Chains A and B, each alone.
Chain A
Amino acid sequence: MKKKALALIITGIFTLSLGLTGCGGSKKASDTVKIGWIGSLTGDQAVWGQCESNTVKMVIDDLNKNGGLLGKQVQLVPYDTRGDGTEAVNAVKRLTGQDKVIGIIGPNASGQAIPISSVLEEMKVPDIATVATNPKVTIVDGKVKPYNFRVCFIDPYQGAAAAGYAYDVLKAKNAAILYDVADDYSQGLTQFFEKTFTEKGGKIVAKEAFKTGDVDFRAPLTKIKESNPDVIFMPYFFKEVALSSKQARELGIKATLMGGDGWPSEQLISMAKDAVEGSYFVNHLDFNDPEVAGFRAKYKTAFGKDVELNGFLAYDATNMLIDAVKRANSFDPIKITAALETTNMTGITGKIIIGKDTHNPENKDAAIIKIVNGEYIFQQKYAVH
């Protein structure tokens, strides 16, 4: 009898709390409007996700202090995707169904940005991805996805830029590629690097793969070493870059290493400073550009850490959404989406002119960065031709 009573009490508490959470959603404050953010607050890319959410919060706090958006205060609703596509879909369902946001910023990774489009289309809410570079985020089968946008360049551009720079400037004739077979981003970059490099006359002497989460790359690296490349392209994220570059040097590989925008992070330097010395990667902007110094200083003062790449793009994405809301002069997500399609503004990462058919910023410059002595030294702006 005692056990039964206990069970009943617990069931009662759960039911009560369910009812309360259900009630909470329908209460609407008429003087605030909500903007959502999704990204990795935990997991491998937590460093980037946390930087993004900090930046978006910073922008929105400033906005609120200066009178808010179209007279209303803005509330940020952030959700952790843990770096997982399924979690991202769940988060977007909650943001659009329960929180009723007018727009969503993020995620940073294509692996999460691609699956959320079906929910966005169903609920008709726009999303601006920050650093998701796979073409499939905004265009699939030649058709543009109506509610997906981004502020960054895309992988074809990035992969081609890396390949072009390797062939034209570094004068590499043979290249090897080590990529992550379980990641859309890595696969995309690999595909376009290979295409451009061979079109220019270079030769891909080895193409080896690993799976996300692997820590030991010496088997594929030994095979790459045998093929004797001038350059090794490593299009994946900084944790695996740090491990694989260290292991490559341990095996005696002397080739120049190259990568994409998944590289830059303080952790890459702290983990593999010597291994990545003299390497190149494609980035969205020059960190040391004087025009972004103000933003960098502000972030450092507010959060005590250096801002990561994602911060710059999150800043622009948030301002892009705010700009669209002002031009639409409405909080209706459908009108905001229409306004997003005609975005023409200058952000801290460069000109952002959104193409109506692609929802991507057109002709955005890529920056080639070289790692010298643990510092990211800007080499040149590179445009693909």
Chain B
Amino acid sequence: MTNFLQQLINGLSIGSVYALMAVGYSLVYSIMNFSNFAHGGVIMFGAYFGYFFITLYKLPFPVAFIASGLCAGILAVVIQRIAYKPLMDRKAPFLYFIISAMGVSIFLENIVVATIGPTFRTYPAIFSEIPIKIGALNIGRIDLMMFVISAICLGFLIYLIDFTKIGKAIQATAYNMKASTLMGINADRIIIIVFAVGGILAGLAGVLFGMKYTVYPQIGNITIKSFIAAVFGGLGSIKGAVIGSILLGVIETLASGYFSSQYRDLIAFALLIFILIVRPVGLMGKVTEDKA
């Protein structure tokens, strides 16, 4: 029984990593209707921002944490302005957006390799490495923190989307961009806000990822799992992205623990295919265009 509970905790902690990454991704998808492959790059930059704020500028952790989020948000908006807006203005087909996004992601990874270097960095130990023991179970402090912070961020996001005027504007733009401009909504401004929020979440996710594991230019590749989680939970649905991520983390871990660790990724991708066949809109995706 303890084995099962420990694996469950492992799965939940991996799931919350995926969740924070998947939410920003899902948010952009709901508005722009395309997969922002550059999201992984922003996460990676968030990890590096945090690392340098803490080691080079010696900022206290909470300040560095929020600053990284903000810088990542700015980066996301810059990417939108440079790589996506020109395509939007020209009403380019969606394929072009995806190519542009991939280009940005390759660029981000390699600019870090070329300037900062490919060796990985470790965050100084800010939180005690000693795990919290409950009986025979071990829960890492960082995991607990990630879980709590993810919950807070997501709670804030849900508040923003469902209960504020801006949130309503975002929902309207996601539903039908043209019609919302007729209602007096500045679609361009909404897009900037959405990318900024997505970027901030990515930045925070990056810092937490870097703290939990390590900082290296290829962090963006982990976001493939977040993509699976977002699709699994329902692209365009925030709650779906969260639930999908947690479920993916748990299923992956239990499969690895009880079935075979060699087949772990196979199971994750098989799940994706299964969902796409059986219920393409994902767990929480609605068949109508109601998104976000």
- Taking Cβ atoms with an 8 Å cutoff, the residues of A that contact B are 42-44, 46-47, 181, 208-211, 213, 215-216, 218-220, 222-223, 226, 239, 242-243, 246, 249-252, 267, 270-271, 274
Per CB-CB distance, the 8 closest pairs between chain A and chain B, nearest first, are A219-B256, A220-B261, A215-B213, A218-B10, A209-B262, A219-B253, A46-B118, A208-B261
B118 touches A271 (CB 8 A): no
B113 adjacent to chain A (CB < 8 Å)? yes
Residues of A within 8 A of B262 (CB): 181, 209
**A219 in contact with B10 given A42-B113, A208-B261, A250-B131 (CB within 8 Å):** yes
Is B138 a contact of A250 with CB atoms below 8 Å? yes
Given A239-B120, A267-B120, check contact A222 B6 (CB 8 Å).
yes
Name the contact of B252 in the complex, choosing from A47, A219, A274 (C-beta under 8 A).
A219
On chain B, the number of residues with a Cβ less than 8 Å from chain A's Cβ atoms is 33
Residues of A within 8 A of B264 (CB): 210-211, 219
Q: Is the CB of A226 within 8 A of B3?
A: yes
Instruction: Pick the interface stretch among B74-82, B144-152, B182-190, B214-222.
Output: B214-222
- Give the complex CA separation of A47 and B117 in angstroms: 10
* Contact across chains for A270 and B122 when beta carbons are under 8 A apart: yes
Q: How far is the CA of A211 from the CA of B129 in the complex (A)?
A: 25
Q: Complex: how many Å from CA A242 to CA B123? A: 13
Please name the residue on chain B nearest to A274 by beta carbon.
B129
Task: Write the residues of chain B forming the contact surface with A, with a CB cutoff of 8 angstroms.
Answer: 3, 6-7, 10-11, 13-14, 113, 117-120, 122, 129, 131, 133, 138, 140, 213-214, 216, 218, 221-222, 252-254, 256-257, 261-262, 264-265
Give the distance in Å from the alpha carbon of A243 to the alpha carbon of B215 in the complex.
Answer: 12
Contact of A252 with B261 in the complex, beta carbons under 8 Å = no
Known contacts A218-B10, A226-B3, A271 near B122 by CB under 8 Å: yes
Contacts of A46 in B (CB 8 A): 117-119
A residues in contact with B118, CB < 8 Å: 42-44, 46
Q: Are A215 and B6 in contact (CB under 8 A)?
A: no
B221 and A250 contact, CB distance less than 8 A: no
Q: How far is the CA of A250 from the CA of B221 in the complex (A)?
A: 25
Bound CA span A222–B8, Å: 11
Which A residues are in CB contact (< 8 Å) with B222?
215
Whether B131 pairs with A219 at a CB distance below 8 angstroms is no
- Which B residues lie within 8 Å of A267 (CB)? 119-120
Please give, as numbers and ranges, the residues of chain B lying within 8 Å of A220 by CB-CB distance.
Answer: 256-257, 261
Tell me the nearest residue of chain B to A209, going by C-beta: B262
Complex: chain A residue closest to B114, CB-CB: A42
Interface contact B119-A251, CB-CB below 8 Å: no
- CB-CB nearest in chain A for B10: A218
Q: Across the two chains, which residue of chain B brings its CB closest to A265?
A: B119
CB < 8 Å: which of B13, B119, B120, B221 contacts A213? Answer: B221
List B contacts of A213 (CB < 8 A). Answer: 218, 221
Q: List 28 A-B contacts (CB under 8 A).
A: A42-B113, A43-B118, A44-B118, A46-B118, A47-B119, A210-B264, A211-B264, A211-B265, A213-B218, A215-B214, A216-B10, A216-B14, A218-B10, A219-B7, A219-B253, A219-B254, A222-B3, A222-B6, A222-B257, A223-B257, A223-B261, A226-B3, A246-B129, A249-B129, A250-B140, A252-B133, A267-B120, A274-B129
Q: Which residues on B sit within 8 Å (CB–CB) of A239?
A: 120, 214, 216
Expressed in whole angstroms, the Cα–Cα distance for A47 and B131 within the complex equals 31
Consensus secondary structure, chain B interface = helix
Measured in the bound complex, the distance between the Cα atoms of B118 and A211 in whole Å is 20
Please give the distance in Å from B232's CB to the nearest CB on chain A.
18
Q: Chain A residues near B133 (CB, 8 Å)? A: 252
Known: A209-B261, A215-B213, A243-B213. A222 touches B122 (CB 8 A): no
Candidate in B113, B256, B265 with the most chain A CB atoms within 10 angstroms = B256
Residue numbers in B under 8 Å from A47 (CB-CB): 119
Cβ A252 vs Cβ B138 within 8 A:
yes
- Most-contacted residue by chain A among B120, B131, B140 (CB, 10 A): B120
CA distance A164 to B138 in the complex (A): 33
Other 12 A-B pairs with CB < 8 A, given A222-B7, A239-B120? A42-B113, A44-B118, A44-B120, A44-B216, A211-B265, A215-B222, A218-B10, A219-B11, A219-B252, A219-B254, A239-B214, A271-B122
Q: In whole angstroms, how far apart are the Cα atoms of A210 and B253 in the complex?
A: 12
Chain B residue, CB-CB nearest to A223: B257
List, in ascending order, chain A residues with CB within 8 A of B218's CB.
213
- Docked Cα-Cα span, A216 to B7, in Å, equals 12
Determine the distance from Cα of A213 to Cα of B119 in the docked complex, in whole angstroms.
Answer: 14
Tell me, in angstroms, the Cα distance from A326 to B6 when the chains sit together: 62
Which residues of A are found within 8 Å of B10, using beta-carbon distances?
216, 218-219, 222
A106–B118 Cα distance when bound, in Å, is 20
Question: Bound state CA distance, A220 and B218, in angstroms?
Answer: 23
Complexed CA–CA distance, A220 and B254 (Å): 10
Would B140 and A242 count as touching, CB distance under 8 A? Answer: no
Bound-state Cα–Cα, A249 to B129, Å:
9
Q: A47-B119, A219-B252, A246-B129 are in contact. Are A251 and B138 (CB under 8 A)?
A: yes
- Residues of B within 8 Å of A250, CB to CB, are 129, 131, 138, 140
Would you give the shortest CB distance from B242 to chain A, in whole angstroms? 19
What are the residues of chain A within 8 A of B6 when measuring CB–CB?
Answer: 222, 251
Q: Which residues of A contact B221 (CB under 8 A)?
A: 213
Give the Cβ gap from B264 to chain A, nearest Cβ, in Å. 7
